[in-house]
């Protein structure tokens, strides 16, 4: 029986659940609304067709690592590549959190806490302050004792607000020598933020990045860490060898050789984000929060009814009302202009439905 062989920490933890739905307008996972430009897709597939699939890929995805290092102006030996930033989150907990502590704010990206619980680490979660403010003082108190891994999403998720450079620097410095500080910059491209300086200057700090968001490669699954070469060497021990496939490498190498399209996509997302934010602010009964990411968090009177009403009209968003401090909240990704228009039209229609969100928008 599983109960006889599986650790109690694993048995006690619910699995990571996500139910896929087939909706015409999909705005629930913070993905890019745009796929790869056709010339790049064709080039990537052509490169893949030439890949020796009967051979193992490069041990540590060296060509991908070199391309990332050039793109990020970073020492190549300070780059660690893996099949998604989630893999690197797990790796940091294994490398520095086992038998120690994992620190993060709440609400935040759920994988931090899941990995802490799976690894039987001492999970410390500090609630966000008023207006989702970073609880700097409380985090500094936690960092003053113990050792382990500190995850800090900058910008924050799922709330979408920015984190100040001075806060990241102060927290990283407070943990230096005892804590591994992981600055998760998954949404940094949309905010125009950059915390590489902390990873470069403060010992024990790394910048965690992904190609899933701004680059639009969520289906490829590739993330990377930027840190000091000595720390990267230790982290690399935890990432399984040959973990980046030839398929992933072919796509990523192609994109990194011609990344100009990314800046255009980021500008489109920012423009649509501000347009969508303004439209939501004009709706009675909807509270929308400021965001520097590719998603918006909004609060309505009845999140379940609103979610259901939108879904019935073919628009998929993400419920967040189960998270601490996010009662009544939904999260909507910024999509293409026509998708954002469809979302707003569906939201307005919901407000007129007897079982919908009329009371939320009254």
Reported confidence tier of residue 111, pLDDT bands at 50, 70, 90? very high
**Residue 45 belongs to some domain of the structure:** no
Note whether 96 and 103 are within 8 A (CB).
no
Domain match, 296 and 206 both: no
Q: How far apart are CA 210 and CA 49, in angstroms?
A: 25
Single out the residue of 225, 253, 222 nearest to residue 238, CA to CA.
225
Domain match, 204 and 321 both: no
Of all residues in the chain, the percent with pLDDT exceeding 70 is 95
| For range 276-292, the mean pLDDT | 96
On the question of pLDDT at 360 being above 70, the answer is no
Domain match, 60 and 130 both: yes
What's the pLDDT tens digit per position in 127-157?
Answer: 999 999 999 999 999 999 999 999 999 999 9
Listed residues 257, 292, 318: the one ending a domain? 257
| For range 58-66, the mean pLDDT | 97
What's the pLDDT tens digit per position in 219-257?
Answer: 999 999 999 999 999 999 999 999 999 999 999 999 999
**Residue 124 belongs to some domain of the structure:** yes
Q: Which two tokens stand for residue 304?
A: 């379940």
Q: What is the pTM of this model?
A: 0.93
**Residue 328 belongs to some domain of the structure:** yes
CATH no. for residue 277? 3.90.1150.10
Q: Is the dihedral of CA 83, 89, 92, 97 positive or negative?
A: negative
| Confidence (pLDDT) at 351 | 65
Domain count, the chain: 2
- How many secondary structure helices (H) and strands (E) does the chain include? 15, 13
Listed residues 210, 239, 257: the one ending a domain? 257
Identify the three-state secondary structure at position 41.
Answer: helix
On the question of pLDDT at 361 being above 70, the answer is no
Question: What is the spatial order of strands in the sheet that 205-210 belongs to?
Answer: 79-82, 223-226, 205-210, 179-184, 148-153, 101-106, 122-127
On the question of pLDDT at 29 being above 80, the answer is yes
**Residue 48 belongs to some domain of the structure:** no
Per the structure, the complete domain to which residue 302 belongs is given by 17-32+261-350
Domain match, 193 and 246 both: yes
């Amino acid at each position: 029986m599983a109960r006889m062989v599986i650790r109690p920490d694993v048995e006690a933890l619910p699995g990571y659940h996500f139910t896929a739905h087939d909706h015409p307008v999909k705005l629930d996972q913070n993905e890019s609304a745009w796929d790869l430009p056709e010339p790049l897709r064709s080039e990537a597939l052509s490169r893949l067709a030439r890949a020796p699939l009967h051979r193992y890929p490069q041990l540590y995805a060296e060509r991908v690592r070199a391309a990332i290092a050039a793109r990020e102006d970073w020492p190549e030996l300070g780059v660690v590549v893996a099949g998604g930033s989630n893999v690197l989150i797990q790796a940091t907990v294994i490398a520095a959190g086992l038998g120690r502590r994992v620190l993060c704010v709440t609400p935040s990206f759920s994988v931090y806490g899941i990995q802490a619980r799976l690894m039987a680490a001492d999970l410390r979660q500090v609630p966000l302050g008023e207006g989702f403010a970073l609880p700097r003082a409380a985090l500094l108190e936690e960092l003053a004792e113990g050792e382990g891994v500190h995850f800090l999403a900058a910008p924050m998720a799922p709330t979408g607000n920015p984190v100040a450079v001075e806060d990241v620097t102060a927290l990283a410095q407070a943990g230096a020598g005892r804590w591994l500080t992981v600055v998760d910059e998954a949404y940094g491209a949309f905010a125009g933020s950059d915390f590489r300086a902390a990873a470069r200057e403060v010992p024990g700090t790394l910048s965690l990045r992904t190609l899933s968001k701004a680059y639009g490669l969520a289906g490829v699954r590739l993330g990377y860490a930027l840190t000091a070469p000595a720390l990267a060497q230790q982290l690399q021990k935890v990432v399984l060898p040959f973990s980046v496939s030839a398929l992933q490498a072919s796509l990523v190498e192609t994109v990194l050789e011609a990344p100009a399209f990314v800046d255009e996509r980021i500008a489109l997302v920012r423009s649509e984000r501000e347009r969508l934010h303004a439209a939501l602010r004009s709706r009675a009964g909807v509270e929308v929060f400021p965001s520097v990411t590719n998603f918006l968090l909004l609060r309505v009177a009845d999140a379940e009814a609103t979610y259901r009403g939108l879904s019935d009209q073919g628009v998929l968003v993400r419920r967040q009302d189960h998270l601490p401090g996010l009662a009544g909240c939904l999260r909507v990704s910024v999509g293409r202009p026509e998708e954002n228009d469809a979302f707003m039209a569906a939201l307005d229609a919901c407000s007129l439905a007897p079982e919908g969100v009329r009371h939320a928008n009254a």
